[in-house]
Structure 1
Amino acid sequence: MTTSTKKLSLPQNPRLFGLYINGLWVDSGDRKIMERRSPAHGVLVTRTTAGTEADVNEAVAVARKAFEDRRWSGLSGQQRADVLLKAATLIRERAEELARLETFETGKPITQSRGEIQASAGIYEYAAGAARMLHGDSFNNLGDSMFGFVTREPIGVVGLITPWNFPFFILSERLPFILASGCTVVAKPSDLTSATTLIMAEILTQAGLPDGVFNVVTGPGSVVGEVLSHHPDIDMLSFTGSTAVGKRVLAASAGNFKKLSLELGGKNPHVVFADARLEDAVDGVIFGFCFNAGQCCVGGSRLLVEKSIQPEFERLLTEKLARLRVGDPLDPDTQIGAIVSEKQHETICDYIERGTKQGARLLSQGKINGTDRGLFVQPTIFSDVTSDMDIATDEIFGPVLSILPFETTDDAITIANNTIYGLSATIWTQNLSHAMDAVRGIRAGRVWVNTTIAGGPELPAGGFKCPPSGSMGRNW
């Protein structure tokens, strides 16, 4: 597929979406309409339906019926795989439509959206293979009078709540594996970024997914999310979002002892040793805290740098950061786009102000090359940061980096672990002993060495400390 290198245009009129239940679009009717404006331009781009408790109940009932009559779980692994492979093909056919909607609603650069859509198609292909690999086990070691066997069964109806930062990609990290296992689904995307999830429902129907297996109810978390969390007929809930909301989901799940998969917050360290290839490390650190405008749960927002190279590393960081292209996400040359909402924009700006007030040294604020309209935040680096400062302890979810020096490997591991989070970490070194000591010592679910935010669906995901993070390899 080829895509234009020219700057795209905003839509002339917003696109209207209803709910998607039982394989059909449900018109908004007299329900409330949620309007979404591009965070980079302020222009109305989509209008989605605010679902009600009754809508959630209907979707769950439909999903329950679809599960119990085995229209999906009763198929062979090959038949389920065929649907997922067809879905991957259709994703690629509609990739530009999906990428534009993703950029319109999230504010991320169009090149990033295109990459995420293509990568998502690959996940559906991988999940198709997983559908054919699922099997039970047998035990022929119980004596002649007994034979044991184990079957692997789908859990049932899964509630799937996804966030606004990677609406299509995170959906793709979860949904195809849930479907590969034979479960049925009721999904609630973020009310800020619902469009691509709704399009995916249509794609799956076109790919041959039976009606009622995948349903989407859009709306605010306080209504749709709460009902899903408490619903007695939801067997498992997958939630990706903030730690605070995750705790409420955990409490709500007690009503019927739902199985949970949670991916929550992070305050992830990049640890740079003096023997690292500095140019590579600088590129990785900048990518880690600027990717998706810093709105990435596994991005690196703390830089732990060996004290002897701190001045040189800070110089390289500021020089490269100044060359980043920040601005209109519809321009293919843009590298950093907009912040998703006014609330998030205010939060990030507040933390930058706190960092200055608490004594951190403002090392750099990158220049914006492009439009100055919309919700943009200049990538910001603080030095002279101590572990008790808010910018060092709190998940900011924006392009803000805090630099903390260390002198020994043990020192680096101690600083890295001085957080309530344990989602990811990145190590930069050419010394195998340093790398392995840090990998073993830092309590994080994913640890990268000399790369960051890398890997694919073949690798599991996990976490420490806060409620455990979701895993693509989890049993659904």
Structure 2
Amino acid sequence: MSFNFVPVNMADPRLPKTATRYRMFIDGQWTDGSAESTFVRNSPAHGIPVSEYPRGGKADVENAVSAARRAFDSGVWSRISGAERAAVLLKAANLIRENAEQLALVETLETGKSIQQSRGEVLGAAGCWEYAAGMARAIHGESFNNLGDSMLGLVTREPVGVVGVITPWNFPFFIASERYPFVLASGCTIVAKAAEITSGTTLMMAGLLKEAGLPDGAFNVVTGPGSVIGQALTEHPAVDMVSFTGSTAVGQSTIAASAANIKKLGLELGGKNPQVVFADADIDAALDGTLFGLLFNGGQCCVSGSRLIVERSIHAEFCERLLERAAKVKIGDPLNDETQVGAIIDERQYATIMRYIGLGRDEGGRLLTGGEALGEKPGLFIQPTIFDGVDADMSIFREEIFGPVLCVTPFDTYDEAIRIANDSCFGLAASVWTSNLDNAIRGFRDLKAGRLWVNTTISGGPELPVGGCKESGYGRETGTYGLDEYTEVKAVHIHLGKRAKWLAD
């Protein structure tokens, strides 16, 4: 089967002649900190150097945490009004929109995703900052005027304090923007650790926040290996909370590292997300959604619809039509405006995906299409790959692949569909495709996932929360729930009048 490959244009004038040299951002200043070496990031689509970062260490974490602690404890950000915080966040959102094309270009060069996707994510991120700005003015508590004449009860929400935010490489700017503005809206300060290979847009955001008027120390960025920087952040006694987005395995180590000071955690981890297609669904819509769920960001997406659970009566036809559509997807040069799917993030992830494809063959999956490289190196492209006849004993059914690999399993009854869908240690997201109201409502009630879609997939905005259950993590980002994550609830009892004595005179 042939695929629609868009050749990489190495003469594109947007490709940098030399790598952009970045510095860390600590206490309002650009610095190389303690770094004695740098890390060079090559474009996964073009194979050329595009970014260079200082390899920071524990000393830089210490300085960044100290700066965030001072900024928080001084009240320069934590104790100003919500209206003042909102003004800074709105200015930041405007600056994101003004610099959207440059942010999108850096995102594409570092991640390999299509420029059109990067543009959409940057503008979506601006929406997160705008929404969080409104939330900064909406933080509120409760009053209890039912405790009798001598007592008034209040419940207040206060910022947690210093928050370490550790973000992944697949959506560097967007996932960060589902966290940073909500952390800041609550009055907290931040030490940010982006993935080492995709730190460019996080550092650009630091500059935009300074321009927007954020006080020095309220937002700090340390670059370097996650095993050093992330570990130091999670263990640090002056960090009050850590928000981590990444693999379940690293999430487990984050929980262990946080135990020293019983640190509050927010974790969004792995997923193996089902797309359940009933025979009564709008088949064209379900086909398009299944393909989008498989190939969005090259399948390198924690909410990717990587398991297709399709009713047996339409199984054969659905798979046949899915293959026809997959051949039409434009894959290749991420700087080409027509490209829909770009490159795999790096050689290690490329090798992981190819290993799982091999496992799928070895374990008895029936390869319907794909399974091979696409284009020529140094570009890292993989054909859309679909396995049929996948059962729960296979690795490709159970384990997160994080690539353009779809596993197809047929079902006969509603109960069987839900059982197959829930047969996973993960619970991040799921989609249900049906025109039957009973199936839709029963489906989103019965499926074990933090985020559900009915007759769509991977859609939504900052109004609703995101997050998972089971081994996909805990806590919620975005929406009012996302703001709540970064606050502590305090109960206040106010005695009115003269208190009755416990010990008589």
What TM bracket, shorter-length normalisation? over 0.9
Report if the CA contact (8 A) 1:326-1:368 is conserved.
Answer: no
Deviates more, 1:465-474 or 1:185-194: 465-474
Which residue identity lines up with residue 295 of structure 2 in the other structure? C
CA–CA distance in structure 2, aligned partners of residues 29 and 225 of structure 1? 16
Shift of 1:372: 5.8
Q: Report whether the alignment pairs 1:123 with 2:131.
A: no
What is the aligned counterpart of 1:267 among 272, 282, 287? 272
What is the aligned counterpart of 1:63 among 68, 79, 99? 68
Shift of 1:172: 0.1
Q: Report whether the alignment pairs 1:322 with 2:327.
A: yes
Counterpart of 1:471 in structure 2 is 477
Output one character per residue of 1:367-422: Cα deviation in whole Å (capped at 9) or x when no partner.
98876641111110000111111111100000000000000000000000111101
Output one character per residue of 1:120-157: Cα deviation in whole Å (capped at 9) or x when no partner.
01110000000000022222111111112222110000
Counterpart of 2:350 in structure 1 is 345
Which residue identity lines up with residue 470 of structure 2 in the other structure? K
Q: Report whether the alignment pairs 1:240 with 2:245.
A: yes
Shift of 1:470: 3.7
CA–CA distance in structure 1, aligned partners of residues 343 and 33 of structure 2? 29
Which residue identity lines up with residue 49 of structure 2 in the other structure? L
Counterpart of 2:54 in structure 1 is 49
Identity %: 58
Report if the CA contact (8 A) 1:159-1:228 is conserved.
Answer: yes
Which residue identity lines up with residue 272 of structure 2 in the other structure? K
1:43-442 matches, cutoff 5 A: 43-365=48-370, 373-442=378-447
Q: How many residues align?
A: 471
CA–CA distance in structure 2, aligned partners of residues 8 and 316 of structure 1? 38
CA–CA distance in structure 2, aligned partners of residues 203 and 30 of structure 1? 24
Shift of 1:55: 0.5
Report if the CA contact (8 A) 2:166-2:244 is conserved.
Answer: yes
CA–CA distance in structure 2, aligned partners of residues 416 and 151 of structure 1? 40
Report if the CA contact (8 A) 1:326-1:367 is conserved.
Answer: no
CA–CA distance in structure 1, aligned partners of residues 25 and 324 of structure 2? 48
Report if the CA contact (8 A) 1:327-1:368 is conserved.
Answer: no
Which residue identity lines up with residue 240 of structure 1 in the other structure? T
Report if the CA contact (8 A) 2:385-2:404 is conserved.
Answer: yes
CA–CA distance in structure 2, aligned partners of residues 12 and 76 of structure 1? 46
Q: Secondary structure at the match of 1:113?
A: helix
Output one character per residue of 1:42-66: Cα deviation in whole Å (capped at 9) or x when no partner.
1000001111100100100110000
Counterpart of 1:23 in structure 2 is 28
Which residue identity lines up with residue 471 of structure 1 in the other structure? E
Report if the CA contact (8 A) 2:35-2:56 is conserved.
Answer: no
What is the aligned counterpart of 1:13 among 5, 9, 18? 18
Shift of 1:169: 0.2
Shift of 1:32: 1.4
Q: Secondary structure at the match of 1:233?
A: coil
Report if the CA contact (8 A) 1:328-1:370 is conserved.
Answer: no
Report if the CA contact (8 A) 2:374-2:381 is conserved.
Answer: no
Report if the CA contact (8 A) 1:321-1:366 is conserved.
Answer: no
Which residue identity lines up with residue 477 of structure 2 in the other structure? S
Gaps of 5+ in 2: 1-10, 487-505
Report if the CA contact (8 A) 1:262-1:468 is conserved.
Answer: yes
Q: Secondary structure at the match of 1:448?
A: strand
Q: Secondary structure at the match of 2:110?
A: helix
Counterpart of 2:450 in structure 1 is 445
Which residue identity lines up with residue 243 of structure 1 in the other structure? T
Q: Secondary structure at the match of 1:133?
A: coil
CA 1:30–1:465 in 2, change beyond 3 Å: closer, same or farther? Answer: closer
Following TM superposition, the consecutive aligned residue runs of length 4 or more in structure 1 with deviations greater than 6 angstroms are 366-371
Shift of 1:449: 0.4
Report if the CA contact (8 A) 1:264-1:469 is conserved.
Answer: no
Q: Secondary structure at the match of 1:271?
A: strand
Report if the CA contact (8 A) 1:81-1:132 is conserved.
Answer: yes
Which residue identity lines up with residue 256 of structure 1 in the other structure? N
Counterpart of 1:456 in structure 2 is 461
**Cα RMSD, aligned residues only:** 1.5
Report if the CA contact (8 A) 2:374-2:382 is conserved.
Answer: no
CA–CA distance in structure 2, aligned partners of residues 252 and 388 of structure 1? 32
State the TM-score, normalized to the length of structure 1. Answer: 0.97
Shift of 1:28: 5.9
Deviates more, 1:187-196 or 1:436-445: 436-445
CA–CA distance in structure 1, aligned partners of residues 62 and 374 of structure 2? 48
Gaps of 5+ in 1: 1-5
Deviates more, 1:243-252 or 1:432-441: 432-441
Shift of 1:31: 2.1
CA–CA distance in structure 2, aligned partners of residues 43 and 450 of structure 1? 41
CA 1:378–1:438 in 2, change beyond 3 Å: closer, same or farther? Answer: same
Q: Report whether the alignment pairs 1:38 with 2:43.
A: yes
CA–CA distance in structure 1, aligned partners of residues 351 and 256 of structure 2? 29
Which residue identity lines up with residue 266 of structure 1 in the other structure? G
State the TM-score, normalized to the length of structure 2. Answer: 0.91
Q: Secondary structure at the match of 2:178?
A: helix
Shift of 1:465: 1.2
CA–CA distance in structure 2, aligned partners of residues 239 and 105 of structure 1? 21
Q: Secondary structure at the match of 1:335?
A: coil
CA–CA distance in structure 2, aligned partners of residues 27 and 456 of structure 1? 36
CA–CA distance in structure 1, aligned partners of residues 408 and 181 of structure 2? 39
Q: Secondary structure at the match of 2:179?
A: helix
Counterpart of 2:3 in structure 1 is none
